[in-house]
Structure 1
Amino acid sequence: MHKIFGLSLLFLLAPAGAQAANGTAAELLAGCASCHGAQGQGNQALGAPPLAGQDAAYLARQLSNFKSGRRGYAGQDASGQAMRAQAAGLDEQQIASLAQHYAGLPAVLLAAAAELPDPLGAARYLDTCAACHGVQAQGYPQMQAPNLRLLGGWYIDQQLASYIRGWRGAEAHADIQGMWMRSIATHVGSGADLAALIGYIQTLGSQ
């Protein structure tokens, strides 16, 4: 499940995005839209998560982390490296403007999975994730914890794998939230436990 998609296209886009970072607002948005979609809906084939409706402070922090190397630092993390190249030329005002733009777009809420919640997944989520992300996975802006219902199970799976591998959240690079998440991810478990946890989040959908 932990595949990174469309890497060749991401790398082709990265230099253009870095150049556009010093351009107009329209050029900045065009660079983002090439992977994340014109409406911030994301693109699983490119490994690009949805951005629309996500908390602005969270989005700004992630862009700042890419710019500073607190995220996208691992050479094995090809999609993170591509995003780091995209963010390299952004200044603080551009980061804030992009974050506000995508936060203001209508959220693309994912349809809830049809199956009943797995009791194991529910228990794992409530014990491990709910304190920061909310009982309904709605996120807590005051904690800069994103709304997980907007991200898609494929992306949550990919990012948990990155935390476990140290591609995100490594103490030598990450911010405090990233380090917390890595600590949590390493205790989530794998295999059936992880699948049940992600499956449970997907059953929440747009509730």
Structure 2
Amino acid sequence: MKAGGIYKLNSFFGYNNKTLYRVAEPSFTITFSSTSVLSDLEDSLVCFPEDRFRFHGYEEFDAACDLRGDLYDYVGHIKLVNGQVLSDSLVLDDVEIASSRRVLLHVQTHDGPVMKLYLWDKAASNFSALALSSMTPSHVFLDTDVQATQDYLTWMNTNLAVANRVDADIVTKTETVTIGELFSYMKQEDAKVAWFECIATIGDVAHGSS
């Protein structure tokens, strides 16, 4: 690219900048994907006001990922969206997304495993509208200033074997039950495989063998 040149860009991802990211002064950031195509318009008569922007490569994200600065953290490539391979012909079912209230992404982390990422409710509908708007999204970013994101990524990096073994069809909300209710569920013939986390409270401590 050269100063004063005019270019046509096809297949890209654009979004509003967050005010806390001081590295990008413009209002918008454009992210290129593997399907992005940039062509030079040599004889264009269209004039644009002068503006400035910057490119961020993976190496820059990787070098700054643990410095708690203002750069975005690169996570990986989206491989599947609701089981479909990313392509220009990708079509998402708005009715299904509205009914299930979720979108399932398979994300390939850099030199790491493929993880399942569920987008729920408003995030799911926003992703659907974004995918249908103009391009094929190929990257996903998580805000590591959010404590829940930090906890999740820390857990995943230290439990890769467990993360690779998880293959849940759906994500359910946490539900508190008693031991009796849990036992009743286990005795049902139609009970499905499920994970339970048991928490007990010590009520009393007795000394001796009596």
TM-score range, shorter chain: under 0.3
More helix by share: 1
TM-score (norm 1): 0.26
Q: Which has the higher contact order (CA 8 A, sep 6+)?
A: 1
Structure whose alpha-carbon radius of gyration is higher: 2
